[in-house]
Amino acid sequence: MKILITGSQGQLGTELNQILTGAYPAGTVVTTDIDSLDLTDAKAVKNFISAGDFSHIINCAAYTAVDKAEIEKSQCTAINVDAVSNLAGAAADISAKLIHISTDFVFDGNQNVPYKESDKTAPLSMYGATKRRSETVALGLNPDTIVIRTGWLYSPHGSNFVKTILRLATKDESIGVVYDQIGTPTYARDLANMIATIIAAPQWLSGIYNYSNEGVASWYDFARAIIDIRGLNTMVKPLLTNEYPTQAKRPAYSVLDKNKIKATYQIEIPYWRDSLAECLKLMD
Ligand SMILES: NC(=O)c1ccc[n+]([C@@H]2O[C@H](COP(=O)([O-])OP(=O)(O)OC[C@H]3O[C@@H](n4cnc5c(N)ncnc54)[C@H](OP(=O)(O)O)[C@@H]3O)[C@@H](O)[C@H]2O)c1
């Protein structure tokens, strides 16, 4: 077994690297990020992968700046679609299994029951649209692909909602957060553990799977939980989406139905507030 993690310096890549290097013998896990392998460079990707003899490739790289993507459309497409095409094609050439990460933002949020993998996609944003295209490209070019849709990812690394709220809460007496967008936070460490479970599983079942933590929250609830667990006194004011305009449209409801991944891999998923508390302990 030889595993390549791309985007290894991002939130998920960092967690996954820690877990897999702890689980497998030295030399099994190889990591790259944009400084060592720019995935938009088709030739470099082909050369690197064909020389690598990888059994598994986990793509944690992406363009994740959801609002900026509305302006930087070509950069977003290059990283979220073209790079995935380069990677999936090169993986197929060496018969490597590919795990690619996608998002709950592939949905329009008009449902009021959790989204199944088979539900109709209708992304509202450039980011969501490119991630949806990446799913089709990855599955089309490499039949041995598992796509995991996740949402509201956070960790002690990089930039994310938890870090933003902690920063604002320590300098402002009151902050406003939207309460009419509903989803589920996902601790990147839990998702990384899920990926490790998939790699170690006796059989490989390609296709799309949903994964987030358990439970449901609005961004307001998420912010309140961060502040409460940290014991801060900052007031959180609930806002409507139209009171907090952003460049990119986001789904009002993007809760994911996780029954497929739970049944396939016989796993239990941690409740989002428990995982948040665990992550915050590491951020003291
Ligand atoms: N963050 C979320 O809330 C969220 C929600 C749902 C799904 N996801 C998906 O989950 C996955 C992991 O997200 P994340 O939050 O861990 O992402 P992240 O922290 O933004 O990390 C992405 C990594 O990819 C690297 N990268 C960017 N362009 C690249 C290129 N051309 N070649 C190689 N590497 C490149 C980035 O480098 P730079 O930092 O230098 O650009 C960064 O290290 C992504 O597929 C994302 O779309 C994320």
The pLDDT tens digits for 145-175 are: 999 999 999 999 999 999 999 999 999 899 9
pLDDT digits (tens, 9 = 90+) for 65-117: 999 999 999 999 999 999 999 999 999 999 999 999 999 999 999 999 999 99
Question: Which token pair is 254?
Answer: 């993007």
| DSSP code of residue 194 | H
**pLDDT of residue 41 exceeding 90:** yes
Mean pLDDT of 10-31: 98
Task: For residue 26, give both structure tokens.
Answer: 């030295």
Q: How far apart are the first and last CA of the chain?
A: 36
Q: Which CATH class is domain 3-154+186-212+254-269?
A: alpha beta
Average pLDDT over residues 43-59: 97
Q: How confident is the model at residue 229 (pLDDT cuts 50, 70, 90)?
A: very high
Task: Name residues contacting ligand 1 (CB within 6 A).
Answer: 6-7, 9-13, 33-34, 38-40, 60-62, 64, 79, 83, 101, 103, 131, 150-153, 158
pLDDT for the residue 162: 98
Is 207:267 a contact under the CB 8 Å cutoff?
A: no
Mutate to test the pocket of ligand 1, among 9, 33, 135 (most ligand atoms within 8 A of CB): 33
% of the chain at pLDDT higher than 90: 99
pLDDT value of position 284: 78
pLDDT in tens, 105-150: 999 999 999 999 999 999 999 999 999 999 999 999 999 999 999 9
Active site residue 179: no
The predicted model gives 17-45 an average pLDDT of: 98
User: Is the pLDDT score of 192 beyond 90?
Assistant: yes
Q: How far is CA 103 from CA 4, 22, 80, 91, 254, in A?
A: 21, 27, 11, 22, 9
Tokens 């077994």 belong to residue = 1
56 pLDDT above the threshold of 90: yes
Q: Is 207 left (phi over 0), alpha (psi -120 to 50) or beta?
A: left
Q: Mean pLDDT for the chain? A: 98
Ligand 1 atom nearest the C-alpha of 14 is: 16
| pTM, to two decimals | 0.98
Q: Map out the domains of the chain as residue ranges.
A: 3-154+186-212+254-269
Ligand 1 atom with the shortest distance to the CA of 104: 6
**What span, in angstroms and rounded, lies between the C-alpha atoms of 250 and 254?**
9
